[in-house]
Amino acid sequence: EAGVAQSPRYKIIEKRQSVAFWCNPISGHATLYWYQQILGQGPKLLIQFQNNGVVDDSQLPKDRFSAERLKGVDSTLKIQPAKLEDSAVYLCASSLDRQINEQFFGPGTRLTVL
Amino acid sequence: AQKVTQAQTEISVVEKEDVTLDCVYETRDTTYYLFWYKQPPSGELVFLIRRNSFDEQNEISGRYSWNFQKSTSSFNFTITASQVVDSAVYFCALLVSGGYNKLIFGAGTRLAVHP
């Protein structure tokens, strides 16, 4: 069974530029999560989708971050414009549904903002 | 408020030593779940275990064991006879039932196992 795929694995941009990350969850998983992991910290949930609808985006900085999952499968997370403090690893995870299921994580995208 | 504290930032051991990673959690809810994840250098978070708040039975899986004590709000993880491949960052996480499937992670403990 293929795992959660993410691309790119690494990205370096300058502040005020835009960047987008892509995630393809495990086939059949209805719930998709984006986490931000700052160096030395645990992952923090940014947004959670159930199929193509947002169920929790309370910690997403909506003035610069956006995410979509239009067809209920893969998802993109965008930052526009980026700030220095956005440097982090962005992890995508998926689970079968919103119930208490194991979340499967992708390898992450390491973003460096200069 | 929900919170997970992993007080040990880094632990260094020699191969074959036993090591315990501490996890203390805070929640006012009576129904919750606790998790441990491993994050090797490749970056992926690997699920290790899930326990619910009504099951305080300790669990052993090979060289791994977990001690859940509600009285002290702790969910500690022990690796017996550590190996170099155990080197990773380990995260404890809390999920409160009734809401969204939202994991709250601790800051992690970096374990280095030296040959």
- Predicted confidence (pLDDT) at residue A107 exceeds the cutoff of 90: yes
From B33, B45, B97, residue closest to A91, measured CB to CB: B45
Whether residues B101 and A40 touch (CB distance < 8 A) is answered with no
B66 alpha-carbon distance from chain centroid: 8
Instruction: Output the DSSP codes for chain A.
Output: ----EEE-SEEEE-TT--EEEEEE--TT--EEEEEEE-TTS--EEEEEEETTEEEE-TTS-TTTEEEE-TTSS-EEEEESS--GGG-EEEEEEEESSSSS-PPEE---EEEEE-
Amino acid B65: pLDDT: 94
- The pLDDT value recorded for residue B101 is 72
Q: What percent of chain A has pLDDT over 90?
A: 83
Report the pLDDT value the prediction gives residue B1, as an integer from 0 to 100. Answer: 80
- Cβ contact, residue pair B100, A99, below 8 Å: no
- For A21-68, write each residue's pLDDT tens digit: 999 999 999 999 999 999 999 999 999 999 989 998 999 999 999 999
pLDDT tens track for B70-102: 999 999 999 999 999 999 999 999 997 666 678
pLDDT band at B6 (very low <50, low <70, confident <90, very high): very high
* Amino acid, single-letter form, for residue B79: I
- Cα dist. B38→B4, B87, B93, B108 in Å? 16, 9, 11, 9
Q: What is the per-residue pLDDT for A49?
A: 93
* pLDDT tens string A66-88: 999 988 899 999 999 999 999 99
pLDDT at A8 over 90: yes
Optimal mutation site among A45, A49, A99, A110, interface B, most CBs of chain B within 10 A? A45
Average model confidence (pLDDT) for chain B?
Answer: 92
- Answer whether residue B58 shows pLDDT above 90: no
Contact yes or no for A100 and B97 at CB 8 A: yes
